[in-house]
Amino acid sequence: MNVQNIMTNLEAKHPGESEYLQAVREVLESIEEVYNQHPEFEKAKIVERLVEPDRIFKFRVVWVDDKGQVQVNLGYRVQYNAALGAYKGGLRFHPKVNESMLKFLGFEQIFKNSLTNLPLGGGKGGSDFDPVGKSDEEIMRFCQAFMYELWRNIGADQDSPAGDVGVGGREIGYLYGAYKKIAREHSTGALTGKSYGWGGSLMRPEATGFGAIYYVVRMLKEKGQDIAGKTIALSGFGNVAWGAATKAVELGAKVVAISGPDGVCEIPGGITKEMIDYMLDMRASNRNKVEDMATKFPGQAKFTAGKKSWSVKCDIACPSAFQNELSEADAKELIANGVQFVAEISNMGCQAEAIHAIQAAGIPFGPGKAVNAGGVATSGLEIAQNAQHYNWTAEEVDQKLHKIMNDIYDMCVQYGKQADGSINYVKGANIAGFMRVANAMLAQGII
């Protein structure tokens, strides 16, 4: 494989799909050396097959808002690769959703899901529907309209969507209710992130954030350090930041920043349990304003409009909101302020130049597809419980999640260890994830 040739080809075929091209380039650059040691991969054109999704469904979603007006959105499901199992990945509801964004997310999902060692293929979907300012009834009607189209293409052994940005427990509830009604099947594994009591797994809401902190703990341990007493800057205030803050505080760390599209909330004394609980209310309000935290806790949180979390001095920076949210300039500011570790909890949270700057400064960098894999891993555990018609305890799920994250960490070290003893976690995660998929594709023939 020659990465430049493949990229030139893809750029011509998919012009303007910048997120997709960025995600593909990162993976290909990481795996090039290993790939070229395997002529059987080249012969079977594994990379050429991997970069294109198996198929993409694109559909119109029509619904009626609270004023009685008809609204039209676009819906998508990208079924990317099923070498390891049925397609699996979240749904994102955000006005910026387009094919490029969902292709990048679906592509990342293939390798992330592979890292979990569970039988999960890669997929992603969503809509340009904007949940901000929508009533509960509008969200329900949109979810039902979305499922009118999608239901035929999902199922526990076919494709199992879950949440992502803009899609949480409430949305999954409405989506699953609509699915059941249309498909006339109580097939719980067709969606994950369900609530406990009707097929959901305990610990699924916490899983992405908890798993990320388990991974970060290992990154610190590698350097002989402990998370207790460390300051952490998170971005966003959604499900992922909530889970990460909960576990970080439990382990004695201090979360000193969260953020929103409106600006940053600095919390010099560290986030408290009450503030973490309030993050859930902020998300449920659909206002999408982090300023609400400072209004509610005036003495403890200070809001600055237009600033990001990366302007706050911290030991560990964890992007946990959206792709490309941490730029090269942000990375330089973090480095100048003494950051010691960076771990992406959002998918592709850092721009390529930011990763290069962080790595060049000798700062360990954990990539999203490894760090945030605990979410989809616990979705895999939810499907396993659904298939057994059984529920595991929170302790059982957490134990399995912790083991999966430790195994992912070990694989990243195994494939990412450099000649000078340092660990390139990006390379490690990409190679480890790729090898399992490539070998499965080889074994299953030219399809």
Residues of this chain that bind ligand GLU (CB under 6 A): 88-90, 112, 162-164, 192, 347, 375-376, 379
**Distance, CA of 375 to CA of 267 (rounded, Å):** 26
Structure tokens at 317: 């920076």
For residue 182, count other CB atoms closer than 10 A to its CB.
Answer: 15
Please report the DSSP string for 174-236 in residue order.
HHHHHHHHHHT---GGGS-SPPTTTTPPTTHHHHHHHHHHHHHHHHHHHTT--STT-EEEE--
Least distance from ligand GLU to the Cβ atom of residue 27, Å: 16
- Residue 207 has φ and ψ, to the nearest 5°, of -60, -45
Residues annotated as catalytic (active site), given as ranges: 124
Residue type at 162 in one-letter notation? A
Least distance from ligand GLU to the Cβ atom of residue 290, Å: 21
Residue nearest to ligand GLU (CB): 90
Helices then strands, counting H and E runs in the chain, come out as: 17, 12
Least distance from ligand GLU to the Cβ atom of residue 349, Å: 11
**Residues 377, 355 contacting (CB under 8 angstroms):** no
**Residues 109, 373 contacting (CB under 8 angstroms):** no
CA-wise closest residue to 318 among 273, 269, 372, 356: 372
Least distance from ligand GLU to the Cβ atom of residue 226, Å: 28
Least distance from ligand GLU to the Cβ atom of residue 108, Å: 8
Structure tokens at 313: 């001095």
**Distance, CA of 125 to CA of 74 (rounded, Å):** 11
Least distance from ligand GLU to the Cβ atom of residue 376, Å: 4
**Residues 434, 31 contacting (CB under 8 angstroms):** yes
Longest dimension (CA), the chain: 64
Smaller CB separation from ligand GLU, 41 or 409: 409
Structure tokens at 278: 């309030």
Smaller CB separation from ligand GLU, 163 or 349: 163
Smaller CB separation from ligand GLU, 45 or 403: 403
**Residues 323, 347 contacting (CB under 8 angstroms):** yes
Smaller CB separation from ligand GLU, 90 or 263: 90
Smaller CB separation from ligand GLU, 296 or 402: 402
Smaller CB separation from ligand GLU, 106 or 263: 106
Smaller CB separation from ligand GLU, 124 or 254: 124
Least distance from ligand GLU to the Cβ atom of residue 70, Å: 30
E-strand ranges in 288-336 read 302-305, 316-318
